[in-house]
């Protein structure tokens, strides 16, 4: 077992930082000495875009740049030659974002859940020491920024810093769209009980009273700040970069076909129907947004948000990713960041057999898909059907099962666990 002293903040963050620093340096070495690059292709897209920006061009002049210009702005120091040390600036930013997200997790674990330093450190280590997280950010994928935005959002809400939460929410949606699913959960959570401590659960209050009670200052504050941040950023970017900004950051996600193999259960169907739109009468994928948005934006927040906002956000993200039309392993980071907040009160930990089964199934079905994907991608075997299709469905079913467990845990009446 790991000595609990290591989970105190200083060693906790030192180890996390050393892990990232080592990977970063190793990555620089591998890039310089091997034809096989450590750096993620996406990072080359970001830095190409920053380079264009430095030359006074639009970041959208780089094919497949589908992000907010903020990212290219942020990475401007990388605009020099790729051999320069500054080229890694973005990776350092992403790695620092990881650490900041970890620090916010630690604060939230201690504050609301009243844990000891070591115990909260151990849960934060699930994120901070996670090799997958550290690898993804040091390879230059921007998902780490999403991690800090979503934990920052939750932290601000829990701290009752509603305006700050609104700004983070607006920024997050501008950045990657999906954080909009947290808006209904936070709005629902920000009731009078939370904001002023007034407990008003009279059954006989009229609909009019209830509506009036629903409209609280905090809710309006959040709505206005988030909407204003989101719109201001969009107007700013649109005024500078025009239509390509709207096209690549937002409309692209509406028009994309997503025919290439990925973890999504819809994937094979999307390929099939994109290739011959007239052949199949089954166009279930065109309704895919319904279960996804119903769960992520309405039903899960309704059922869980008031009881446990962090678990609600985890379950919403999990549902959003599971029911999405496209799903790659980077999306898993979106929900992984919430795991340290959920696991302390989770039946997956209380009941180790359940937890291990869930973990093994999650890894196993993913592994089956990866094996089929390898056969296809590298050996050229036609594994689309049935191999890839079945394994993506199995992975989907596993995720639904785990989602059910998270929902049950989040909805159960419980006070913050005090297991020390």
Partner 1 sequence: MRERITFFHPTDTGVLPENLKRDKGGLEAPVLETTREDRLTLGLDELPAEVASVLSGFSSLHVAWNSPVSYRTLEPFAARLSPGLHVLFQPTVAGMSDKSDLCSLLQVFSPRDCSVDKAISTTITGPGGSPQPKQFFQPLEELSHFAKWLSSEVCGAEDDACQSRAQRLLFAAGLDITYDAASKTAKVSAFWPLKQQSVSAPFSPHRRTEVGILTLGNPPNLAPDHVGVSGILTTLGDKKQPSPALFAFPARHKVSESHFSTTFLTPTGLHPTLQLSLDSNQPPKEDAECKPYAYLTLPKTIFADRFQLDGELFMASKNLTALRATSLPVDLEAPAYTTAAWGSSILLELAPPTSATNQPWTAEVPLHLRYLKPSASGLQSIEVPYPAVFWACSAEQGPEFSQNPFDRAHVGYDTLFESDTVFWHVEPRPEQGDRLVNTISVPVLNEHGATLIGVGTSVVVALGFGWVLWKLYSAIAQNGYQAPPKAAEEKKKR
Structural element, H or E, at residue 6: none
Binding pattern to partner 1, positions 287-306, x when CB under 8 A? -x--x---x---xx-xxx-x
Tokens 């979503």 correspond to 150
Q: Does residue 82 belong to the site contacting partner 1 (CB under 8 A)?
A: yes
Return d(Cα 70, Cα 93) in angstroms, integer.
Answer: 13
Q: Is 64 in the site for partner 1 (CB under 8 A)?
A: yes
Does 313 bind partner 1 (CB under 8 A)? Our answer is no
Judged by CB under 8 A, the residue of 1, 34, 85, 239 near partner 1 is 34
Choosing from 35, 85, 207, 215, the residue that interacts with partner 1 (CB under 8 A) is: 35
Site string for partner 1, 160-199 (x = CB under 8 A): ---------------------------------xx--x-x
Q: What are the residues whose beta carbons fall under 8 Å from the beta carbon of 240, sequence distance 6 or more?
A: 69
Residue 338, judged by CB atoms within 10 A of its CB (0-12, 13-18, 19+), counts as buried
Least Cβ distance, residue 228 to partner 1 (angstroms): 27
The Cα 39–Cα 24 span in angstroms is 9
Other Cβ atoms within 10 Å of 357 Cβ, number: 15
Q: Where are the alpha helices (DSSP H) in 139-259?
A: 143-158, 162-176, 182-189, 192-196, 207-214, 217-241, 243-246, 252-255
Does the footprint of partner 1 cover residue 107 (CB under 8 A)? no
For partner 1, which is the closer residue by CB, 164 or 293? 293
Q: Which segment (16-24, 116-124, 125-133, 280-288) binds partner 1 by CB under 8 A? A: 280-288
| CA distance to 34, 168, 401, per residue, from 117 (Å) | 42, 27, 32
Q: Which is nearer to partner 1, 249 or 268 (CB)?
A: 268
Which of 2, 302 has the CB closer to partner 1? 302
- Asked if 354 is part of the footprint of partner 1 (rule: CB under 8 A), the reply reads no
Q: Which is nearer to partner 1, 125 or 269 (CB)?
A: 269
CB of 393 to partner 1, least distance (A): 5
254 belongs to the binding site for partner 1 (CB under 8 A) = no
Query: What is the DSSP track for 207-227?
Result: HHHHHHHH--HHHHHHHHHHH
Q: Calculate the CA dihedral of residues 123, 116, 305, 337 and round it to 10 degrees.
A: -20
Q: Which is nearer to partner 1, 207 or 287 (CB)?
A: 287
Nearer to partner 1, 271 or 342 (CB): 271
Which one, 217 or 282, has the nearer CB to partner 1? 282
CB 170, min distance to partner 1, A: 25
How does DSSP assign 287-327, residue by residue?
Answer: GTHHHHHIIIIIIHIIIIITT-HHHHHHHHHHHHHHTSS--
Q: What is the DSSP letter of 415?
A: P
Q: Which is nearer to partner 1, 134 or 187 (CB)?
A: 187
Q: Which of 271, 331, 335, 342 binds partner 1 (CB under 8 A)?
A: 271
Residue 223: CB atoms within 10 Å: 16
- 75: contact with partner 1 by CB under 8 A: no
Minimum gap (Å) between residue 333 Cβ and partner 1: 22
Nearer to partner 1 among residue 146 and residue 296 (C-beta): 296
Q: How far is the CB of 4 from partner 1 (least distance, A)?
A: 26
Instruction: Please identify which residue in 157, 297, 319, 333 interacts with partner 1, judged by CB under 8 A.
Output: 319
**Residue 165 near residue 136 (C-beta atoms within 8 A):** no
Q: Does 307 bind partner 1 (CB under 8 A)?
A: yes
Are 214 and 306 in contact by the 8 Å Cβ rule? The answer is: no
> ∠ CA 228-229-233 to the nearest 5 degrees?
115
Phi/psi region, residue 183 (left: phi>0; alpha: psi -120 to 50; beta: rest), is: alpha
Residues touching partner 1: how many (CB under 8 A)? 77
Answer for which of 25, 275, 356, 363 binds partner 1 (CB under 8 A) is: 275
């Amino acid at each position: 077992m790991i000595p609990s002293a290591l989970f105190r903040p200083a060693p906790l963050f030192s180890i996390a930082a050393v892990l990232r620093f080592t990977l970063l340096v190793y990555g620089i070495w591998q890039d310089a000495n091997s034809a096989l690059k450590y750096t993620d292709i996406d990072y080359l897209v970001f830095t190409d875009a920053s380079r264009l920006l430095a030359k006074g061009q639009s970041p959208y002049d780089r094919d497949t740049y589908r992000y907010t210009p903020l990212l290219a702005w942020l990475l401007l120091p990388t605009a020099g030659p790729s051999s320069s040390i500054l080229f890694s600036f973005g990776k350092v930013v992403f790695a620092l974002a990881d650490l900041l997200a970890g620090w916010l997790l630690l604060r939230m674990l201690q504050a609301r859940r009243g844990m000891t330093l070591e115990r909260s450190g151990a849960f934060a280590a699930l994120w901070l020491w996670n090799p997958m997280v550290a690898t993804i950010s040091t390879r230059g994928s921007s998902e780490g920024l999403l991690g800090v935005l979503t934990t920052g959002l939750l932290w601000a809400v829990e701290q009752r810093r509603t305006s700050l939460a609104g700004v983070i929410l607006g920024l997050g949606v501008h950045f990657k769209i999906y954080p909009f699913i947290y808006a209904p959960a936070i709005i629902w959570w920000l009731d009078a009980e939370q904001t002023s401590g007034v407990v008003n659960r009279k059954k006989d209050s009229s609909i009019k009273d209830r509506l009036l009670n629903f409209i609280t200052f905090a809710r309006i504050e959040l709505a206005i700040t988030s909407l204003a941040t989101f719109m201001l950023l969009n107007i700013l970017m649109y005024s500078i970069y025009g239509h390509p900004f709207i096209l690549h950051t937002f409309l692209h996600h509406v028009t994309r076909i997503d025919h290439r193999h990925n973890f999504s259960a819809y994937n094979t169907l999307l390929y099939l129907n994109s290739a011959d739109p007239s052949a199949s009468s089954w166009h279930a994928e065109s309704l895919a947004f319904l279960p996804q948005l119903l769960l992520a934006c309405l039903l899960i927040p309704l059922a869980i948000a008031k009881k446990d906002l962090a678990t609600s956000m985890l379950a919403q993200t999990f549902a959003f990713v599971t029911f999405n039309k496209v799903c790659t392993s980077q999306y898993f980071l979106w929900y992984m960041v919430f795991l340290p907040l959920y696991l302390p009160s989770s039946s997956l930990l209380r009941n180790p057999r359940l937890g291990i089964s869930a973990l093994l199934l999650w890894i196993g079905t993913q592994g089956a898909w990866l094996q089929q994907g390898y056969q296809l991608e590298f050996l050229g075997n036609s594994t689309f059907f049935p191999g890839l299709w079945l394994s993506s469905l199995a992975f989907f079913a596993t995720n639904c099962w785990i989602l059910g467990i998270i929902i049950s845990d989040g909805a159960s009446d419980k006070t913050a666990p005090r297991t020390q």
